[in-house]
Amino acid sequence: MTLKTSPLNPYFGVEVTGIDLNKVTADHHFSEIRALFEEHSALLFRGQQIGDEKHMEIARLFGPIEDRNADERKPGETFEVPKVSNVQADGTTMAEMDLHTLHLKANFLWHSDSTFLPVPALVNILIGRVVTSRGGATELASTRAALAAMPESLKARIRGRGIWHRYSHSRAKISPELAALPMFHKWPDQHWNAIWRNPVNGREALYIASHAFLIDGYDTTGSEALLAELTAFCTQPQFVYAHDWRAGDVLLWDQRAVMHRGTPWPYEEPRTLSSICCSVTEADGLGEMRLAQTGAG
């Protein structure tokens, strides 16, 4: 069967209906899902009852599961699906100025996940578990649609250049104390091409994030100004889809062609999303993106 779709935004994204993700396998519906992913960059499936095991199974169909804590895991400990949550072990919610809450607030900056890793993310598969009475939306911005509409004068300032990315850079925008934590200094600065060409359809997208701090050929001040201008262009309302969560929603998007951010919610209310990122492979265009890892200021 052909899956039914309806647009989330005139430029990108579709809601997919008539499918139970629990029944998706490599041989059943995944090729259709992957084709929709390449074409539309963001997919929404509502009303799904997906456990952690199935979440991981679907993620592995996209590629290797990203595991940022592999170096910290003790022998015998297994990967657990990361939770984006303000809920503590005793069931209470964290204070608004708690460092973990500040870490969540850093996600309010427009970004692509894992641009600071030696192998960045292809997709984030996010599932609504506990949602709030208001707020807490996830906003997506198509850097593919934005690049296609971008004036040549602006596009020329970035084409053919590399951009440097650092995890602590985005956290420093929220709190110097947060940025100083060891978890934000595990990986060296990463140097990626500014434009990611999709190897399946040839369409190009701007590859930027809140982690980006330096553009080849520009000093720090010039880089910050150009990154801000590019981000502002890409996040104009016509290129943005805002998702208001319901429990059971599954939202996934192409990290190569979409930036995202969270939005505030009442912090006394519990909120939990399950999140798995999968890493890109050479088949996803990684080779064209890699640039020399020397030369950052």
What pLDDT score does 144 carry? 98
* Tens digit of each residue's pLDDT (9 = 90 or more) over 47-59: 999 999 999 999 9
Number of H helices, E strands in the chain: 9, 15
Res 93: pLDDT: 85
Reading the block at residue 150, the tokens are: 């971008």
Q: Under DSSP, is residue 88 helix (H, G, I), strand (E, B) or coil?
A: coil
Specify whether the CB–CB gap between 93 and 87 falls below 8 A. yes
Q: What is the pLDDT of residues 223-244, one digit of tens each?
A: 999 999 999 999 999 999 999 9
Q: What is the mean pLDDT of residues 65-76?
A: 88
pTM, to two decimals: 0.93
CATH code of domain 4-289: 3.60.130.10
**Residue 230: helix, strand or coil by DSSP?**
helix
Q: What is the pLDDT of residue 207?
A: 98
Mean model confidence pLDDT for the chain: 93
Tens of pLDDT, residues 143-197: 999 999 999 999 999 999 999 999 999 999 888 888 898 889 999 999 999 999 9
- Dump strand ranges (E) for the chain: 4-7, 14-17, 42-45, 83-85, 121-130, 138-142, 162-165, 190-193, 195-197, 204-206, 212-215, 240-243, 250-254, 258-262, 272-279
Q: How far apart are the first and last CA of the chain?
A: 53
